[in-house]
Amino acid sequence: MTQASMKDKAIEKLIKAETKRQVEGLEMIPSENHTSADVLAALGSRLTDKYSEGYPGQRYYGGCEFVDQVENIARDRAKELFGVSHANVQAYSGSPANQAIYFALVDPGDTVMGLSLFYGGHMTHGLKVNFSGTTYNSVQYTTDKDGFLDYDAIAELALQEKPKLIIAGTTAYPRIIDWQKLRKIADSVGAFLAADISHIAGLVVAGVHPSPIGIVDVTMTTTHKTLRGPRGALILANGNPSNPLKKPERTVENIPSLIDRAIIPGLQGGPHNHQTAAIAVALGEALTPEFKEYGKQIAKNASKLADELTKRGFNLVTGGTDNHLMVVDLNNKDLSGKQGEKALGLAGITVNKNTVPFDPRSPYDPSGIRLGTPALTTRGMKEKEMEQVAEWIDQAIKNASDEKKLGNLHKEITDFALKFPLPS
């Protein structure tokens, strides 16, 4: 990507430095990816200048004839890709999208249930210090001691607490989520069921992870993780949009209207049209057969990496992975997650520290690291390269206190990374 020259040299310099950091290293944070040049072009377009509060055909501003078409294309592609009758593409990002789901389906003080952050959930699934934990009566479920979702325990907790909304989805869970089991649990207490597929949307598109569509009541995904688009979110549902001016009752059929009204006027003002255009571009890319191959390769690479790390004595939560990520417990390597993150960073491998189930350490200095393959797979790496990456991870962890060795490793990794350019 050649960047147009900027007048603001301070920021231009930092953009160049960040681009170089990405090009010369290995991005293994599983929520990150590398977008296409077309996505970047849409993001950097004049569409960012335009106000267009409302929805296509019913805007509060003039001059919306082109952004209307952009948003319609984004919505149509989202509907086609996931097989739903309604898509809202305006949420500014994943967290605001989840906020809209709560706003649409429950009232302050109502009981909501989600997976604890410390067991692989997201903050917006009811963490005490998040809006979802302060506005609502949040009840949190966990995993079993091996890190697997414990559906019997979730069912029991639901019967006990009678939530009005169950939110299911993960940020650090390496296994398949059983939507049918969660549906039964939600039905047993008459709760709405929301799926948050932010991490796995690209895998759902590729058929690597079962889709929640048709099983759950509403589905949310970010657009910037395995889906490989700009930052943003989709809220997907089946149902009939009703009269936009009348407050609809809280029924499954009305979820499209409830969501649209939650986004605006409920929570947001003008949509980010440059972002909507970039989402449309990314969804267009995701509709191609090449993207399905990409999604399959992400999982193949993760599986290979997990095997290679296990061979080298690494202890993986749940013993491996079915998706794009793995959580590695570093306790048997005598390193904390923070130390692991730092050592790998010095070697040019970017990961993030993460709790492991029933973590003996504090959430701020947890036992594990989380790593994934979406960004490396975008660069064209395959199973063969994963073996090499596992070897480097092992070397970096073994030499965590030797900055010189880590620096040498970084040089070696940079030579390798340069052979796998970012998308252009």
Ligand X SMILES: *Cc1c(COP(=O)(O)O)cnc(C)c1O
51 a catalytic residue: yes
Would you give the distance in Å from CA 189 to the centre of its chain? Answer: 28
| Token pair recorded at residue 268 | 């947001």
Under a CB-based contact definition with an 8 Å cutoff, are residues 32 and 231 in contact?
Answer: no
Cβ 325 to ligand X shortest distance, Å: 10
- DSSP annotation of 253 reads G
**Secondary structure (3-state) at 87:** strand
Catalytic residue among 71, 196, 260, 359: 196
- Which pairing describes strands 111-115 and 165-169: parallel, antiparallel, or unpaired? parallel
Give the residue with the Cβ less far from ligand X, 171 or 373: 171
Cβ 344 to ligand X shortest distance, Å: 21
Q: Is 196 in the site for ligand X (CB under 6 A)?
A: yes
Binding residue (CB under 6 A) for ligand X from 114, 126, 169, 256: 169
What is the rounded radius of gyration, in angstroms, for the C-alpha atoms of the chain?
22
| Token pair recorded at residue 61 | 């501003």
Q: Is 35 in the site for ligand X (CB under 6 A)?
A: no
Under a CB-based contact definition with an 8 Å cutoff, are residues 53 and 266 in contact?
Answer: no
Closest CA to 219 of 39, 87, 401, 40: 87
Q: Is 93 in the site for ligand X (CB under 6 A)?
A: yes
Q: In this structure, what are the phi and psi dihedrals at residue 160, rounded to the nearest 5 degrees?
A: -70, -45
Cβ 27 to ligand X shortest distance, Å: 15
Closest residue by beta carbon to ligand X: 94
Q: Is 143 in the site for ligand X (CB under 6 A)?
A: no
Please, is 12 exposed, middle or buried when counting C-beta atoms within 10 Å of its C-beta (0-12, 13-18, 19+)?
middle
Q: Is 268 in the site for ligand X (CB under 6 A)?
A: no
Instruction: Give the range of 54-62, 88-96, 289-297, 377-385 binding ligand X by CB under 6 A.
Output: 88-96
DSSP string, 131-199: HHHHSSEEEEE-B-TTS-B-HHHHHHHHHHH--SEEEEE-SS--S---HHHHHHHHHHHT-EEEEE-TT
Q: Is 54 in the site for ligand X (CB under 6 A)?
A: no
Residue 401 CB neighbours (<10 A): 10
Under a CB-based contact definition with an 8 Å cutoff, are residues 305 and 390 in contact?
Answer: yes
Residues in a beta bridge with 325: 372
Residue 188 CB neighbours (<10 A): 12
Give the residue with the Cβ less far from ligand X, 93 or 399: 93
Q: Is 31 in the site for ligand X (CB under 6 A)?
A: yes
312 a catalytic residue: no
Cβ 250 to ligand X shortest distance, Å: 22
Element (H, E) at 289: helix 289-311
Catalytic residue among 51, 151, 161, 184: 51
61 a catalytic residue: no
Catalytic residue among 79, 181, 184, 231: 231
Q: Is 135 in the site for ligand X (CB under 6 A)?
A: no
Give the residue with the Cβ less far from ligand X, 226 or 303: 226
Cβ 244 to ligand X shortest distance, Å: 26
Element (H, E) at 325: strand 325-329
Give the residue with the Cβ less far from ligand X, 122 or 175: 122
Q: Per-residue contact track with ligand X, 97 to 116, x per CB under 6 A?
A: -x------------------
d(CA 170, CA 200): 9
Q: Is 94 in the site for ligand X (CB under 6 A)?
A: yes
196 a catalytic residue: yes
Q: Is 222 in the site for ligand X (CB under 6 A)?
A: yes
Binding residue (CB under 6 A) for ligand X from 75, 122, 183, 272: 122
Binding residue (CB under 6 A) for ligand X from 199, 261, 272, 353: 199
Instruction: Give the range of 132-140, 168-176, 274-282, 289-297 binding ligand X by CB under 6 A.
Output: 168-176
Active site residues per annotation: 51, 53, 196, 222, 225, 231
By the criterion CB under 6 A, which residues form the site for ligand X? 31, 93-95, 98, 122, 124, 169-171, 196, 198-199, 222, 231
